[in-house]
Amino acid sequence: MTETEKHNYDVIVIGAGGAGLRAAIAAREAGMRVAVICKSLFGKAHTVMAEGGIAASMGNVNSNDNWQVHFRDTMRGGKFLNNWRMAELHAKEAPQRVWELETYGALFDRTVDGKISQRNFGGHEYPRLAHVGDRTGLELIRTLQQKIVSLQQDDGQGGPASDGKLKVFAECTITELLKDDGGRISGAFGYWRESGRFVLFRAPAVILATGGIGKSFKVTSNSWEYTGDGHALALRAGSTLLNMEFVQFHPTGMVWPPSVKGILVTESVRGDGGVLRNSDGKRFMFNYVPSVFRGQYAETEEEGDRWYTDPDHNKRPPELLPRDEVARAINSEVKAGRGSPHGGVFLDIASRRSAEEILRRLPSMHHQFKELADVDITSEPMEVGPTCHYVMGGVEVDPDTAAAARVPGLFAAGEVAGGMHGSNRLGGNSLSDLLVFGRRAGVGAAEYVSALGGEYPAVTDAQIDEAAKSALAPFDAAGVDASENPYTLHQELQQSMNDLVGIIRKADEMEQALKTLDDLKARAQHVAVEGHRQFNPGWHLALDLRNMLAVSECVARAALIREESRGGHTRDDFPEMSSQWRQVNLICSLQPSGSVDVVQQPMVSMREDLIGLFETDELSKYLTNEELAQLPSKEA
């Protein structure tokens, strides 16, 4: 039997970003013994990259805001494909989750009357994003990290901080979830990145909070950690993924120099007055307001400019359309030959705001461009273009408890969970999503574990041996003829996903991508790594590659099936949004053969009081005629 370090917990959380840490806090506060496991050092999770803010309808800047308005904006942004129950819970609970952060020590920017300041963002009707300059994600992660320490100090009861009941296992990668004979979660198996030694966590509940899948694409704002681990772990454990075809390409990533291509340029630049121009100097977004949003956005530059100071009497500029619309518009301008020298468009804040104001509101953007591109954004425009940023699809979950489909004891929260954002996520709704559903997952897992009454599912030695063998396969392949280099395979995967399943999609290209994926999957069987198990990035990549391949196949298969264009899924061959397809969720599962199966599952109809929040005019843009006929008539 494999010699393996073992730990016993009530709840284990995989991932230490916003969702994972908030889940761990909730589970610990519910009395659970909790382990948090993360691939990086504690406090380095991808959440630090979030810049703009946390969306919550506190109404501090405009008192007209409330959860109903936030809910409406979220559904519109997601083109009505959102799990409406998740969108409802999210809109209702976000303010409480933000205020709570202040009791953990967070220091948000303030309004003149000392409340939390809120800024404008794409798709949000009112200023809604609580923020700290343009480094809100860092504030969120540090605050939650410090709250974890605070709970450990409480557990130390006046003595030194104690990690007996809440412990972070950093630089540790989980490779498999384990289940008992009854199909319930029994634990998780992984390795220490530092030593390469194996480690087993026995626990009846696992919360996936692993983030996204961006590293399957070449141009991405995501870090190396974003290899779809949670998505793939859920699939292999027998759970399902929902609507994986929806991938958000953020409209503004850096395009130059090549080494930083894809790094995010925050939407706050536009929220604070920045505008997009093509090579003719024209603000082209006025030409790209789609019919579903017509009437909600300014039609002239003058009106758009007045909106910043008088939002009650003017409509917002189209630069603040939801991200999918802006990304497609930039793509079209570049294709039409009106792009910037390095293949993007210009994002101009220099001519619109004083240098002093830019430095105060966008300090980290100024820093990033100065240091990485030698561009001073207070005097020159930035060059920007779309970058793979976020996956709306994810583990199919119960909205209230975050329990994953089909696998008792498995939970998911944050980017790895699907449904909340529909076909397109609004900026600012991610950080609030992490907090709202991170907490719900922690509570949900604690309730599940309490109901077991101390009887925990078993892990067998054979399961451990099998997981160890699978993890060591890349070493066994070393020295064998026809062995493959994991870095090379990864680059090929990124290139084909970028080119063939990217921002604009066509059936024949996606079929080609699926062929390539099949080929890469076969070659991945022969991936070999050199050196030994101690901190070996080649080996780590070889294992992550399996996850990226499984998740990429889900994206490509679902994208080929959905014959419409909606949010983060644009079909060149089916350019229209279809009200029939709005009633359909695409559900991916893994077959015993290892291939991905996709089935259509009908969407549950929205509750009457929620659908009553929309005007019939607007609903008619999204709903089928049959659905419209069944709407309760509005009283005059």
Q: Which stretch binds another protein (CB under 8 A): 268-276, 393-401, 486-494, 589-597?
A: 486-494
Q: Which amino acid is at 22?
A: R
User: Is the CA virtual torsion 498, 504, 509, 511 positive or negative?
Assistant: positive
| E-assigned strand segments in 467-611 | 584-590, 596-602
Report if residue 62 touches another protein, rule: CB under 8 A: no
* Closer Cβ to another protein, 195 or 450, answer by number: 195
Beta-strand relationship, 205-208 and 11-14:
parallel
250 is catalytic: yes
User: Which of residues 13, 49, 327, 395 is near another protein by CB under 8 A?
Assistant: 49
User: Which of residues 2, 4, 40, 578 is near another protein by CB under 8 A?
Assistant: 40
Report if residue 477 touches another protein, rule: CB under 8 A: no
Report if residue 591 touches another protein, rule: CB under 8 A: no
* Closer Cβ to another protein, 257 or 295, answer by number: 257
User: Which of residues 1, 3, 103, 480 is near another protein by CB under 8 A?
Assistant: 103
Cα gap 593→576, rounded to integer Å: 35
Report if residue 537 touches another protein, rule: CB under 8 A: yes
Q: Which residues contact 21 (CB under 8 A, 6 or more apart)?
A: 13, 36, 141, 144, 145, 147, 148, 438
Q: Which stretch binds another protein (CB under 8 A): 292-300, 377-385, 484-492, 576-584?
A: 484-492
Give the burial string for 286-311 (b: 16+ CB within 10 Å, else e): bebbbeebeeebbeeeebbebbbeeb
Which of 33, 90, 231, 250 is catalytic? The answer is 250
Q: How far is the CB of 262 from another protein (least distance, A)?
A: 9
* Closer Cβ to another protein, 161 or 603, answer by number: 161
Q: How far is the CB of 240 from another protein (least distance, A)?
A: 29
Tokens of 388: 């793979």
Q: How far is the CB of 81 from another protein (least distance, A)?
A: 30
Q: How far is the CB of 599 from another protein (least distance, A)?
A: 36
Partners of 264 in the beta sheet? 253
Q: Does residue 283 contact residue 277 with C-beta atoms inside 8 Å?
A: yes
Give the burial string for 138-151 (b: 16+ CB within 10 Å, else e): bbbbbbbbebbeeb
Residues of this chain, 243-272, that bind another protein according to CB under 8 A: 256-260, 263-264
Q: How many CB atoms lie within 10 A of CB 205?
A: 29
Report if residue 523 touches another protein, rule: CB under 8 A: no
Q: How far is the CB of 150 from another protein (least distance, A)?
A: 3
Report if residue 99 touches another protein, rule: CB under 8 A: yes
Residues of this chain, 126-145, that bind another protein according to CB under 8 A: 132-133, 135, 138-139, 142
Report if residue 487 touches another protein, rule: CB under 8 A: yes
Q: How far is the CB of 192 from another protein (least distance, A)?
A: 11
Which of 184, 193, 270, 490 is catalytic? The answer is 270
Report if residue 3 touches another protein, rule: CB under 8 A: no
CA angle 266–267–273, rounded 5-degree value: 115
Residues of this chain, 203-242, that bind another protein according to CB under 8 A: 223-225
User: Which of residues 4, 29, 42, 447 is near another protein by CB under 8 A?
Assistant: 42
* Closer Cβ to another protein, 107 or 522, answer by number: 107
Report if residue 107 touches another protein, rule: CB under 8 A: yes
Q: How many CB atoms lie within 10 A of CB 79?
A: 24
**Helix, strand, coil percent content, the chain, rounded in steps of 5:** 40, 20, 45
* Closer Cβ to another protein, 209 or 590, answer by number: 209
Q: Does residue 238 contact residue 406 with C-beta atoms inside 8 Å?
A: yes
Residues of this chain, 394-453, that bind another protein according to CB under 8 A: none
- Rounded to the nearest 10 degrees, what angle do helices 136-155 and 84-104 cross at? 70
Beta-strand relationship, 5-8 and 198-202:
parallel
User: Which of residues 388, 514, 529, 606 is near another protein by CB under 8 A?
Assistant: 529
Binding residues for another protein, how many (CB under 8 A)?
A: 71
Tokens of 191: 């390795």
Backbone angles phi, psi at 290, to 5 degrees: -75, 165
* Closer Cβ to another protein, 117 or 579, answer by number: 117
Q: How far is the CB of 588 from another protein (least distance, A)?
A: 28
User: Which of residues 21, 34, 48, 598 is near another protein by CB under 8 A?
Assistant: 48
Q: How far is the CB of 22 from another protein (least distance, A)?
A: 15
What is the edge-to-edge ordering of all strands in the sheet holding 394-395? 394-395, 241-242, 584-590, 596-602
Report if residue 197 touches another protein, rule: CB under 8 A: no
CA dihedral 547, 14, 386, 596 (to 10 degrees): 30
The DSSP call for residue 249 is E
Q: How far is the CB of 606 from another protein (least distance, A)?
A: 29
Catalytic (active-site) positions: 250, 270
